[in-house]
Amino acid sequence: MSARGTQIDIFPNIYFRPQFGRPLAKNQLIQVKLADMLTEISIGLHACLRVTRLKDEKSCSPQQISLIKRNSCGKALEIARKARDILGGNGIVDEYHVMRHMCNLESVNTYEGASSVTQFIYLSLFIRTHDIHALILGQQITGLQAFK
């Protein structure tokens, strides 16, 4: 999971990089961000586990999968951004891999492959996975399909 990898990758820096005479990890704001990251990772993993079990029981709908995928991708990107913020300038260097995770997450977040998407890109409109899953959920909520 990219979100967890991002969080793990920042640990060497926050433990061994002194800021104001102490490690970054000893600052309250850093610990709050780490707690937020872990909370979202845990919620996402539990949701995935539940949907997987529902799928095994043959009682999972495509809308439930869309809900989990949409949320997990968005939260993973938020986590990568927090990790980049925690590392400051080091957040964009190869040594800590945060930017690599962010690029991977952006590519996952961008919907690719369908011919209609190619037409949208040609018209300079970007369709993202987050948006596609929102439309699937919107159809479930309203009973009306807003896409073809």
Catalytic residues: 112
| Contact of 9 with 98, CB cutoff 8 Å | yes
Axis crossing angle, helix 98-109 with helix 62-87, rounded to the nearest 10:
150
User: CA–CA separation, 77 vs 53, rounded Å?
Assistant: 25
Q: Which two tokens stand for residue 18?
A: 């002194």
Q: What residue type is assigned to position 67 of the chain?
A: L
| Contact of 123 with 52, CB cutoff 8 Å | no
User: CA–CA separation, 146 vs 143, rounded Å?
Assistant: 10
